[in-house]
Amino acid sequence: MIQEIPAQELHEERFIAEKVKALQETVADGCAINALSGGVDSSTVTMLGHQALGDRLKTYFIENGLMRQGEAQKVVQLFAELGVIVEVVDARDEFLAALKGVIDPEEKREAVTQTFYNKVFGRLVRQSGVKYLLQGTILTDVDETVAGIKRQHNVFEQLGIDPKEAFGYHILEPLVQLRKDGVRKVGRALGLPAELFSRIPFPGPALAARIIGEVTAERLDTVRNATAIVEDLLKDTQTFQYMAILHQDRVTGIHEGKREYGQQIEIRCWDSLDARTAQPTNLPFDLLTKLAQEIIANVSGVVSVTYNITSKPPSTIEAI
């Protein structure tokens, strides 16, 4: 049973000191590795790990081809400014191969999980000889996995999976008592810039969680381009999270005077405190219209843009 620390009761400095000490004791004079995706949780755990272990923590950015535009360069640069060296591992082909032909949401999540933990990290661990993987699992990930809502790609122990047996290394999860609001407080106290600690959440399976149906390089480009537009136009809204989702169904539209059986993008924008429940943001209609115009004008093949007006539950924040 994980003892939750609600954000209002969190004493960041004390929390950091305790977790730094625990990491130092566990890893002792060994080394650990971690994957930094640039999301709030992995950025915070990276800073925590570096405070505890310094150069004995090696940080990787796994370029899985499922990330947002320019993400690898952005993350490497932001962390270089914080004194953390991030090595980029190009695993795009491996992830695309694992996702080929996969349509079922849980199978898609499982394909990302296995490629990440078994293949890519398994290899990195074998090459570097480390015993520990540090990761930013939070309580919401665990709750939803245990409740059977979604298999969050980073949750194992609570499902009876021993990472040491399954993958050959131990997983350390210092943020697992926190929810997103608590993680942001810790990230800020660890010196992350607001650009990182207040960043909107982004899921572990990345853009694969936002493609309904098969994930292909072309469909990734479509959702990536739409995501860039949505993130740019909604960045000043002070909402919890916003995203573009690519649907599997096609719809009839008109393109340059001709009928086009095209693609459909769904926009979601959420008000939420901790992702457990969420409400669609009441965005001004003018802004919604602008989003549609920009997506239609700049994302080829898209002929329809919709806005989600369903709360979580029964919706979930991501599409798969």
Does 204 engage in binding with ligand XMP (CB under 6 A)?
yes
Q: How far is the CB of 140 from ligand XMP (least distance, A)?
A: 6
CB closer to ligand XMP out of 185 and 312:
312
Q: Which of residues 260-319 bind ligand XMP (CB under 6 A)?
A: 275, 312, 316-318
CB closer to ligand XMP out of 65 and 204:
204
CB 223 within 8 A of CB 127: no
CB 79 within 8 A of CB 60: no
Amino acid letter, 163: P
d(CA 280, CA 278): 7
CB 284 within 8 A of CB 263: no
Strands (E), the chain: 32-35, 57-63, 86-90, 132-134, 170-172, 241-246, 251-255, 258-271, 279-280, 302-307
Q: How far is the CB of 52 from ligand XMP (least distance, A)?
A: 21
Place of tokens 């293949």: 119
Does 71 engage in binding with ligand XMP (CB under 6 A)?
no
CB closer to ligand XMP out of 19 and 108:
108
d(CA 206, CA 240): 17
Residue range at the interface with ligand XMP (CB under 6 A); choices 8-16, 65-73, 78-86, 147-155: 147-155
Choose among 51, 65, 78, 319: nearest CA to 203.
319
Does 43 engage in binding with ligand XMP (CB under 6 A)?
no
Interface with ligand XMP (CB under 6 A), residue from 108, 153, 184, 210? 153
Using CB under 6 A as the binding criterion, the count of chain residues that bind ligand XMP stands at 18
d(CA 167, CA 164): 6
Closest residue to ligand XMP, judged by C-beta, is 204
Sheet holding 86-90, edge to edge: 86-90, 57-63, 32-35, 132-134, 170-172
Does 150 engage in binding with ligand XMP (CB under 6 A)?
yes
d(CA 74, CA 90): 15
Question: Pattern of binders to ligand XMP over 236-255, x per CB under 6 A?
Answer: -----x--------------
CB closer to ligand XMP out of 56 and 210:
210
Q: How far is the CB of 160 from ligand XMP (least distance, A)?
A: 18
What is the helix (H) or strand (E) element at residue 44, kind and residue range?
Answer: helix 40-53
Q: Which residues, in sequence order, are CB contacts of 55 under 8 Å at separation 6+?
A: none
Q: How far is the CB of 21 from ligand XMP (least distance, A)?
A: 25
Q: How far is the CB of 41 from ligand XMP (least distance, A)?
A: 6
CB 170 within 8 A of CB 164: yes
CB closer to ligand XMP out of 58 and 312:
312
CB closer to ligand XMP out of 20 and 317:
317
CB closer to ligand XMP out of 173 and 318:
318
Question: Pattern of binders to ligand XMP over 162-201, x per CB under 6 A?
Answer: ---------------------------------------x
Amino acid letter, 90: D
Amino acid letter, 224: R
CB closer to ligand XMP out of 223 and 317:
317
CB 241 within 8 A of CB 201: yes
Query: Which residues of this chain interact with ligand XMP, rule CB under 6 A?
Result: 140-141, 144, 150, 152-154, 201, 203-205, 209, 241, 275, 312, 316-318
